[in-house]
Structure 1
Amino acid sequence: MKVLISFFLLFTCLSIQAQGSISGNFSPPKDFKWLIAYQLTPNGERYIADTAVKDGSFTLEMPATAQAGMYRLVYAVPQDEFYIDVIYDKKEDVKFNFDLENGLTITNSDENKWYHEYFSKITAAQDKLIEFYETQNEPNKAYTGIIKEITTIQASFEEKHAATIAHRFIKANRSYIPEKFENLETFLKHKKQHHFDNLNSTDPILQGSNFLTDKFAAYVFSALPADISTKDILESEVAKNVKTTAEFITKTPIGFQEKAMHQLWKIAEANDMGTVQDYIFKNYLKKLAQTNNNQKLVDEIELASRLRIGAISPDITWVAKGKKHSLLTMEKAENYLLVFWSSTCSHCLKELPALHKELKDFDNLKIIAIGLEDDDVNWKEVSSTLPNFNHAIALGRWESDYANTFGIQSTPTYFILDSEKRFLAKPESDKEVVEFLEN
């Protein structure tokens, strides 16, 4: 009987644990069909559950094995753009409304309400301080009031919500606040010096969320001298901040370090900071990814670096009239056009003849058409109808060296190079090629 009672109690506990849920309503309903829940961990996202969204509503029953922490609810692709992050503490169900225009509203879950309330209030107060420094640089009552407001909000939320997961974020978000008036230059100097003071880089829940990586990005790309005059100086200062960040997280899990450095690399890419991209990859990200058995990431970044706007194109060779030719030793021209195509591609057979006709009067343009082919029979026939192009062939098609080197995913693919054979543009169609060259 004791065994049966123990089993019954255990079963009851498990059943209770399994009853936790995340539910909500989406608007407009027609735009939402499915929801996938991932737990955010230092080493990436861990799949937990999924469910259909019916008429804009869903209920996601969380398994008993789900751990307390931060969860990502993905509702569309790409998954790194269309998601909602919520705290699931296993103590209360989470309910919310999400509108594409108005955003997220938590309707049940005190912890999530506190989390959003804190960041809303502290951000508004910090914005007041920024606005003050934009218009004034002398102490007054307004400055004193702003400092007091920021201090009070921070202390109040840290004290009231100490036993919550939200508290980890609230405490880690505490930023430098001067005890007495400081001019803008001094304030920014001290703010940078104390940026990492409260960031607990060893907390696995913080590591799993975007919180720490966003903090690192803010430091790397914003904590900069005010008198930067050239792009070279800017990228040098950003690289110094990358180094400081890398040193700060050196004892964290490899997966987290990789995520943090990749995030910085992507921001550098978006801001056309090629030197910073190369610095991050060569000094940190490549080694981290290889240690983490993520060769795919290494390959993707090496491809992106090869094809980056401003980078010199990899070489292409071909034979014409018994003589070997090369892109990199080709005679000087104002522009070069690379066209990756296939003689069995219907789009290519439509676009290339039209392009050939449109470009016949572009005297200072050299064109190289690279056929991705299984054999040369059809290619010879079709390429002969395009005499103004220089023709190279890549046998093996998608598995050919050229397809891999240039990351060709579809045909036709176009690259426009400048006079130094550096990547200048990547048009999507023959019409965009002509438009770019004309303008």
Structure 2
Amino acid sequence: MKKFIFFLVSICAFNLNAQHTISGTFTPAEDYTWLIAYRLKPGTQVYAADTAIKNGAFTMTLPENAEPGTYRLVYAVPQEEYNFDIIYNGKEDIIFNFNSDDGASFKSSTENTILNEYEAAIATAEQNFISYYTNQEQDELLYQNLIQEILNIQERYEEKSNGLLAYHFIKANKPYMPTKLESVQDYVQHKKEHYFDAIDFNNTVLQSSGFLKDKLANFVFTALPLTADKVDLKETEINKNIVLINSHIEQLSASFKFHIYNDLWNYAVAYGYNSVSDFIYNTYLNELAKETNNIEIKNAIEAHNRLRLGEVAPEIIWKKGTELLKLSDLNGATNYVLVFWSSTCGHCLKELPALHKELSGKNKIKVLAIGLEDDTENWKQESKNLTSFEHAISLGKWDSEYADLYDIHATPTYFILDNEKRIIAKPENDKAVVEFLEKIY
């Protein structure tokens, strides 16, 4: 999981004419070539600057009108994975060293030093407190001392950051601490009840960073009863958590809420929580996507939903002579293979004949080859060489009906279905198709 490093900044006394730099090193040097900075805003990000990384070193000059706030530094692709956040205060140059194991360590920045110290200290103290429960300790004095240590750290760093923007993040991160000895069950429940006590969701400094997104995601997916030990129970509790967080953010802007729910949807998909991702999309994200005109993301989510493993493959209809055939009507096989190809695609003309040869004589497997074509001439000729396949054509190629329905962006693309036409695999090539099927038979 990427580390978020907050460089907290003062908006006050900002000199619009000052021009500052972000500089430092990336290790190992050969792994990094370019750095891009985006200014984060509620629900979006805006390009700020970029620079080359040469022999592991870089200096990025920010524009004179660069606003104070959180900046996302992207150092590889995909951008949503290879990045970390800093905060630029408009008054100082920033220097850090980055390595792939430990993330960024800052050589110059007062506010970041304070925040990083706080994050390390509070994380260690909280882990010590949790260990009290996991080690099944019974010493009540030790319990109170562990609580007091956390409270002292929080108070010390709130005082130390007073007047800095670091204060916004430190204050908002204040953890729940019991006032007396609690059972682990009571502690978990009370921590959940008080999770958002210190957070001001209207704080634009917090909105223009990754802080709220991370806090909300952590709550949604980890603030669960100890008894929720099965997937269906977890998903039910996660959905309850989503309803709860909505009560905290429902008055915020649509763009900010879309950003939050889209991230939560992606987390749910990554965890394989289909009922959670469906709940997020159907209850919140669908309407927010329309309201904020994020139609491309809406379409991508809907494509994912209809093509994910376990879903019945979308209907395909084609003509065979004068007869109208449907995918849903195909029978007599244990498994079905859909392959989207083109008669002008070099990879297709290599892989499909190989697949045809491998599956020849296997009566429990039927293949439907859907040609994405601009016309029928080449398709008719090449189809004749694949006699054991069923053949359908979708004119319009990338803009055709079935290219859109099955979200096809490259040929050949494969889907393997069970006898109920449910999608059970999406192999990358013909060899992977054969390997998957060999595991079944």
CA drift of 1:29 comes to 2.1
For residue 66 of structure 1, what is the aligned residue in structure 2?
66
Q: Hey, what's the Cα distance between the residues in 2 that align with 1:340 and 1:27?
A: 42
Farther off after superposition, 319-328 or 155-164: 319-328
For residue 18 of structure 2, what is the aligned residue in structure 1?
18
SS in 2 for 1:437: helix
For residue 135 of structure 2, what is the aligned residue in structure 1?
135
For residue 390 of structure 1, what is the aligned residue in structure 2?
390
Given that 1:71 and 1:86 are in contact with CA atoms closer than 8 Å, whether structure 2 keeps it comes out as yes
SS in 1 for 2:333: coil
In structure 2, the gaps of 5 or more residues are 1-12
For residue 217 of structure 1, what is the aligned residue in structure 2?
217
SS in 2 for 1:227: coil
For residue 404 of structure 2, what is the aligned residue in structure 1?
404
1:267 equivalenced with 2:270 (yes/no): no
Write the letter of the residue equivalent to 1:437: L
Question: What are the equivalent positions in structure 2 for 1:100-119 lying under 5 Å apart?
Answer: 100-119=100-119
For residue 8 of structure 1, what is the aligned residue in structure 2?
none
Given that 2:36 and 2:75 are in contact with CA atoms closer than 8 Å, whether structure 1 keeps it comes out as yes
Given that 2:18 and 2:90 are in contact with CA atoms closer than 8 Å, whether structure 1 keeps it comes out as no
The superposition leaves residues 174-223 of structure 1 with CA deviations (integer Å, 9 ceiling, x where unpaired) of 11110111010000110111111112211222112221111111111111
Farther off after superposition, 336-345 or 146-155: 146-155
Q: TM-score, normalised by structure 2?
A: 0.93
Farther off after superposition, 375-384 or 96-105: 96-105
The superposition leaves residues 249-286 of structure 1 with CA deviations (integer Å, 9 ceiling, x where unpaired) of 01112111111101110111011111111111111011
* Pair 1:319–1:163, CA change in 2 (3 A): same
* Pair 1:16–1:67, CA change in 2 (3 A): closer
CA drift of 1:63 comes to 2.0
Q: Hey, what's the Cα distance between the residues in 1 that align with 2:15 and 2:210?
A: 32
Farther off after superposition, 82-91 or 341-350: 82-91
CA drift of 1:15 comes to 8.2
For residue 7 of structure 2, what is the aligned residue in structure 1?
none
For residue 279 of structure 1, what is the aligned residue in structure 2?
279
For residue 174 of structure 1, what is the aligned residue in structure 2?
174
For residue 194 of structure 2, what is the aligned residue in structure 1?
194
Aligned residues: 427
For residue 44 of structure 2, what is the aligned residue in structure 1?
44
Write the letter of the residue equivalent to 2:431: K
Given that 1:417 and 1:425 are in contact with CA atoms closer than 8 Å, whether structure 2 keeps it comes out as yes
Given that 2:333 and 2:364 are in contact with CA atoms closer than 8 Å, whether structure 1 keeps it comes out as yes
Given that 2:18 and 2:91 are in contact with CA atoms closer than 8 Å, whether structure 1 keeps it comes out as no
The superposition leaves residues 381-407 of structure 1 with CA deviations (integer Å, 9 ceiling, x where unpaired) of 111111111101000000001001111
1:95 equivalenced with 2:91 (yes/no): no
For residue 425 of structure 1, what is the aligned residue in structure 2?
425
For residue 416 of structure 2, what is the aligned residue in structure 1?
416
Write the letter of the residue equivalent to 1:293: N
Q: Hey, what's the Cα distance between the residues in 2 that align with 1:353 and 1:343?
A: 12
Farther off after superposition, 184-193 or 58-67: 58-67
Given that 1:18 and 1:61 are in contact with CA atoms closer than 8 Å, whether structure 2 keeps it comes out as no
Given that 2:336 and 2:417 are in contact with CA atoms closer than 8 Å, whether structure 1 keeps it comes out as yes
The superposition leaves residues 35-93 of structure 1 with CA deviations (integer Å, 9 ceiling, x where unpaired) of 11111110311111112222222222222321211111111111111123111111221
Q: Hey, what's the Cα distance between the residues in 1 that align with 2:269 and 2:15?
A: 48
Q: TM-score, normalised by structure 1?
A: 0.94
* Pair 1:91–1:312, CA change in 2 (3 A): same
Q: Hey, what's the Cα distance between the residues in 1 that align with 2:171 and 2:361?
A: 66
1:163 equivalenced with 2:163 (yes/no): yes
CA drift of 1:139 comes to 4.3
Given that 1:139 and 1:181 are in contact with CA atoms closer than 8 Å, whether structure 2 keeps it comes out as no
Q: Hey, what's the Cα distance between the residues in 1 that align with 2:113 and 2:433?
A: 51
The superposition leaves residues 119-145 of structure 1 with CA deviations (integer Å, 9 ceiling, x where unpaired) of 111111112222221221644333222
Given that 1:17 and 1:90 are in contact with CA atoms closer than 8 Å, whether structure 2 keeps it comes out as no
Given that 2:125 and 2:149 are in contact with CA atoms closer than 8 Å, whether structure 1 keeps it comes out as yes
- The share of aligned pairs that are identical, in percent, is 46
Write the letter of the residue equivalent to 1:322: T
Q: Hey, what's the Cα distance between the residues in 2 that align with 1:144 and 1:208?
A: 36
Given that 1:40 and 1:205 are in contact with CA atoms closer than 8 Å, whether structure 2 keeps it comes out as no
Q: Hey, what's the Cα distance between the residues in 1 that align with 2:143 and 2:14?
A: 54
SS in 2 for 1:328: helix
1:121 equivalenced with 2:106 (yes/no): no
Write the letter of the residue equivalent to 1:285: L
Farther off after superposition, 263-272 or 204-213: 204-213
Write the letter of the residue equivalent to 1:428: E
Given that 1:94 and 1:108 are in contact with CA atoms closer than 8 Å, whether structure 2 keeps it comes out as yes
Farther off after superposition, 14-23 or 234-243: 14-23
Given that 1:138 and 1:183 are in contact with CA atoms closer than 8 Å, whether structure 2 keeps it comes out as no
